Structure 1
Amino acid sequence: MDPLEGEAPSAPIRYEPVNVKDVLVEMKDTAELLIDLSYSAVLHSSEEIAREVLRLEGRMDELEMRARMGLMMAVRSPDDAEQLAPVLGIVTAADDISDAAGDIAKVVLEDIGLPEAMRAALPEAVETLVRGVVVGDSEYVDRPLAEIDLESETGVRVIALRRGDEWLLNPGPETAIRADDVALLRGPDVSISEVYETLTGDPYEAPSVEAPDIEDLERAVDTIVHMKNLSELAVDLAYSAVLFDSEPLAEEVRNLEVEVDALESRFEAWTLRAAADAPDPVVLRGLIHLGSATEVISDAAIDISEGVLREIDVHPVVQMAVEESDEIITRVAIESGSDLDGAAIVGGVPDTETTMSVIAIRRPEEGWLLVGDADAEIRSGDVLIAKGTRTAAGAFDDLSQP
């Protein structure tokens, strides 16, 4: 099989009226999924997932062109040009993320060089991501996800479905699984095999796991996972900074970009040192590509939020996208003596009456802590990045002050 089979061919695109807001929302969702899939392809050495990345990259190219056409048609005055320039920057940055994700996927597909024992070095906390084609007689066929209730029953999530050339991103409770859908599943190893077999009719064959043949490979993989998570957070915050016209969130994107650059530099130095002792240094070449692509993603996050940092008003087309969601991301600085000072976080949720979930903590002396499902304690001086409703965000901010 051609290693690049699955990459969507370029097709002619002609102008047609589009809802730019909807295109921007799809580009955002696509960019976030691309980051997740591309790193998973590398960490799990999965050519199938890497090919889905290239298909999705082709879709992003089409979205970018349609967004550009729509924005050009919308410019009727200098004021329009001023407000739409940052939106065009968002479109370009999303395509940069897509290209970087494609480069990461090609590390697997083009045999650029990866240690064979990458999967063996994965932290236990990293869940498995698999791709499967839904068989016609699966018990899941023609049933909505809410009825199947996979996540509650097994811990496995359907993170995306591809139906022919159509992508269903962030499938919701009412999304039904159809025969021949390509499903992307994420979950713990202990559950993924049963769900995969029920979905596809085929037994799940876990990749063989070999002992690392490169010293300290576990630490390198930990760094890759951390860079991936920080890059995803940077992109999420960048979009939120634009959608909510939040300069504090845009500044946190800058802080994240600095952290990713520092990690990339240390990771590159580790790779060069490891190459000196590796039996075949060429197997480490892909790691250099991975570090470079990660830096591109964090730089793109800066580009997304640039309009906010330059104090350019958010264009109505972006504001319209905000109004569709009641969930927001907010930044809260914890002051000494506040109700949040010393509060425990369990499973990402602080021990308070608010319903905000903490995504990450920036701690002056330690850098970024990604909370996730880990437990932590909030300290004075922490900067929290949290997600929840607008009402809960206001109450959460009040708790951060004495």
Structure 2
Amino acid sequence: MRKKERVKYQPISAREILLEMKNLSELMIDLAYSAALFNDKDLAEDVIDLEERVDTLAYLLDMNIMIAARDAEDAKVLSGVAKVASAADKISDAAGDIAAIVLQDIGVHPIITEIFENVEERLARIRVPENSPVIGIKIGDLDLASMGVDIIAIRRNRDWIINPENEETIRDGDVLIVRGAHAGINEFKEKIGDKTVKVEEAVLEKIKGERWFRNVVERFVELKDTSELMIDLAYSALMLNSKEIAEEVAVLEEHIDKMHTEFELLVLSNKFSVSDVKGILGLIRLGIAAEKIADAAAEIAEVILRGIEPHPILKMTIKEAEETVVYVQVSANSPLVNKTLKETRIPEETGMWILAIRRNDKCIRPKSDTRIEAGDILIAAGYSEGREDLIKLASPTLEKLEYKEEYCE
């Protein structure tokens, strides 16, 4: 059993603590899925270390909130901060549960590789080849936002560098864990000179054409994508103080509950060999973790649904986070006008995903064939580096968009 760090009060601002909790918890999801996808115990261990860090931060934040509350009204507003911090802690716990699948030698069925070929935000492990043109270049100079990708970890020799800084230099033999849109990851592979050919496991070749295989893949892809969408929508609801978006999160949470049950029944009702038992158990636990993430997102949205005004700390935290929420109005001269969401290639160009569109008096959750109109307010989430790129696409002549309460009330 790991020894728990003793908690001692530190006079750190609640905003700093919450910002670190948000950044770490969201990073941990991708790191944990990467550990499961690539069956990497060292990376899984790092996820557990980060989970311990988030747990400690949760205690520190609680202490600071208790000291800050001067009266009942303060306590009410700060309760929203506490609830969001608690949800971030639960997201990190879910990531820890995924990492435990690897550390307990349960593993995940090879079907996971097919699952991650179909999710919205992909994960890739790329080795920097000898004589790569990016060797010696700093991460900040790679212009990752223009490709819609982000380097979340580097394996160098036997050590992992988690969430590397922009000043970190790429070296020969580095193994990069990259997240982003499919096209962007392919573009990045070309940039670094990676010519690795993927070899499919024999077990996948045998079962890939079977209906149950396709159903399991589709169900889990929806579970994962929806649970992570809910996090972004929940933070958007806080940022915009939008009951409408918060209600959408609550509806999705009910949908996830049903979907998770269907996923488990689907996995358990299919024939599998004795050798597959551990891998199937790993799949089921992945589903449980995805549902926990969805539940945490619903808790964040509940702050709005219970009529608690989002504290300014929450809005500042979301704005300053590594994965942030952006809202921008589409001008008449924008190249996005009259294009479908799919045609805009916004994730590939900016690393941002459109969560909702405010049009006239309604917030709509767009589909790939939804056309963007002049005057639309785009509500997007993604890597902070892509924020300015999205603003330039939507409003080429606008340097900065100020928040307006009427965007999504």
* Letter in structure 1 aligned against 2:13: N
- Secondary structure class of the residue paired with 1:159: strand
Q: Check if 1:74 corresponds to 2:65.
A: no
Q: Which runs of 5+ in 2 are unaligned?
A: 330-335, 347-351, 358-363, 381-389, 392-399
Give the count of matched residue pairs.
356
Q: Which one of the candidate residues 102, 109, 124 is aligned to 1:108?
A: 102
TM-score (norm 2): 0.69
SS of the aligned residue for 2:273 comes to: coil
Unaligned runs of 5+ in 1: 333-339, 351-355, 362-367
Three-state SS of the structure 1 residue aligned to 2:70 is coil
Q: SS at the partner of 2:124?
A: strand
Matched residue, 2:7: 13
Query: Pick from 220, 230, 254: which aligns with 2:216?
Result: 220
Shift of 1:379: 10
Letter in 2 for 1:12: R
| CA distance in 1: counterparts of 2:116 and 2:170, whole angstroms | 32
- For the pair 1:316 / 2:308, whether they are aligned, the reply is no
Matched, 1:127 2:122: yes
User: What is the CA distance between 1:53 and its match in structure 2?
Assistant: 2.2
Letter in 1 for 2:202: E
Match of 1:336 in 2: none
1:261-276 correspondence to structure 2 within 5 Å: 261-274=257-270
Matched residue, 2:383: none
C-alpha contact 1:239 1:305 (8 A) present in aligned 2: yes
| Aligned residue number for residue 231 of structure 1 | 227
Taking a change above 3 Å as real, the CA distance of residues 287 and 186 of structure 1, as seen in their structure-2 partners, is same
Classify the secondary structure of the residue corresponding to 1:218: helix
8 Å Cα contact 1:120/1:210 also seen in 2: no
Q: CA RMSD, aligned part only?
A: 4.5
Paired residues of 2:233 and 2:246 also in contact (CA < 8 A): yes
Matches within 5 A, 1:131-170: 143-149=137-143, 157-160=150-153, 168=163
Q: Distance in 1 between matches of 2:188 and 2:340?
A: 31
Q: Report the TM-score, using the length of structure 1 for normalisation.
A: 0.70
Residue identity in the other structure for 1:230: T
Sort the Cα spacing of 1:347 and 1:13 in 2 relative to 1 into closer, same or farther, 3 A: farther
Q: CA deviation at 1:160?
A: 4.9
1:209 lines up with 2:204 in the alignment: no
Structure (1/2) with the larger helix percentage: 2
Equivalent-residue separation in structure 1 for 2:345 and 2:198 (angstroms): 33
Q: Percent identity?
A: 32
Amino acid aligned to 2:258:
A
Q: Structure 1 residues 197, 10: CA separation in 2 closer, same or farther (over 3 Å shift)?
A: farther
Give distance in 2, aligned partners of 1:155 and 1:319. Answer: 24
Q: Return the alpha-carbon distance in structure 2 between the equivalents of residues 270 and 315 of structure 1.
A: 42
**Worse-matched range after superposition: 11-20 or 117-126:** 117-126
Offset from partner CA, 1:303-327 (integer Å, 9 cap, x none) = 11222111112223224436658x7
Question: C-alpha distance in 2, partners of 1:229/1:299?
Answer: 14
1:354-381 CA-partner distances (Å, limit 9, x unpaired): xx963368xxxxxx9886xxx423499x
Flag the structure with more relative contact order, 1 or 2, with Cα contacts below 8 A and sequence separation at least 6. Answer: 2
Matches within 5 A, 1:314-393: 314-321=310-317, 328-329=325-326, 344-348=340-344, 358-359=354-355, 375-378=368-371, 386-387=379-380, 391=401
Q: Does 1:99 align with 2:57?
A: no
Q: Residues 67 and 183 (structure 1 numbering): CA distance in 2 closer, same or farther, change over 3 Å?
A: farther
